[in-house]
A and B are shown apart, each in its own frame.
Chain A
Amino acid sequence: EVQLVESGGGLVKPGGSLRLSCAASGFTFSNVWMSWVRQTPGKRLEWVGRITTLTGGGTTDYAAPVKGRFIISRDDSKNILYLQMNSLKTEDTAVYFCTTYNRYNALDFWGQGTMVTVSS
């Protein structure tokens, strides 16, 4: 059974940093592209970014609002996906989900999400 478990969320001040983790199990993590998606308090879903497999170059892409501030990485030896968030803004407040990609670029499995609140 595929399981994705996010952790690391919490309350942080504007300008601060936070690192989210997503522990994966039930599939061959190293073979799968992964992404982060966030859901705002208004329930809007926003794609944050994605990382390809390391054998595919470990290429990352980011949405414009987070580019240059957020970094996605993966540790295939531990089956963990990371999201390093720097220079946080109040508009980054959201529930953050990690997801897998299927071969058609659909997001086929999702974690339960972790809440990030950016507030002074």
Chain B
Amino acid sequence: DIQMTQSPSSLSASVGDRVTITCRASQSISTYLNWYQQKPGKAPKLLIYTASSLQSGVPSRFSGSGSGTDFTLSISSLQPADFATYYCQQSYSNPYSFGQGTKVEIK
């Protein structure tokens, strides 16, 4: 099975900051990497698929990059609505494993 490791596990940032979250796969997954945002009490929401494609309706301040084993999710200018937990997920092979999550908190 492919293991997904995110870093950091949590971070504190201010509104307007640029934020970067990284995700590493235990083996190459090409660009089969997705990012989700989850707010308390809600279901995860797809932000980015195939490493860099923005899901419809997601603000352009979110972007993704990477291929192979190393990926990043960036938020160019953090907004109040962005304080949440972010998960990466590989869709290269079953089981479609998730990272452990990165909680973005208000500084």
- As a 0/1 sequence over residues 80 to 120 of chain A, the CB contacts with chain B under 8 angstroms (1 = contact) are 00000000000000000100001011111111110000000
Partner of B44, one of A61, A104, A110: A110
* In-complex Cβ contact of B55 among A43, A50, A108, A111 (8 A): A108
B98 with A47: CB separation less than 8 A: yes
- Do the beta carbons of B43 and A111 come within 8 Å of each other? yes
Measured between beta carbons, the chain B residues less than 8 angstroms from A112 are: 42-43
Partner of B49, one of A46, A97, A102, A111: A102
With A97-B43, A111-B43 already in contact, the answer to whether A47 and B50 are too (CB < 8 A) is no
Residues in A with CB closer than 8 Å to B43 are 97, 110-113
DSSP class of B's interface residues: helix, strand, loop or mixed? loop
What is the minimal beta-carbon distance from B65 to any residue of chain A, in angstroms? 16
Convert B39-61 into 0s and 1s, putting 1 for each residue whose CB lies closer than 8 angstroms to a CB of A.
Answer: 00011111001100101000000
Question: Given the complex of chains A and B, what is the CA–CA distance between A68 and B46 in angstroms?
Answer: 29
Give how many B residues have a beta carbon under 8 Å from the other chain's beta carbons: 24
B80 near A: Cβ within 8 Å?
no
Q: Give B44-86 interface residues, CB cut-off 8 Å to A.
A: 44-46, 49-50, 53, 55, 85
Residues of A within 8 A of B94 (CB): 47, 50, 61, 63
Q: Complex: how many Å from CA A25 to CA B98?
A: 27
Chain B residues within CB distance 8 Å of chain A: 1, 32, 34, 36, 42-46, 49-50, 53, 55, 85, 87, 89, 91, 94-98, 100-101
A→B interface (CB under 8 Å): 35, 43-47, 50, 61, 63-64, 97, 102, 104-113
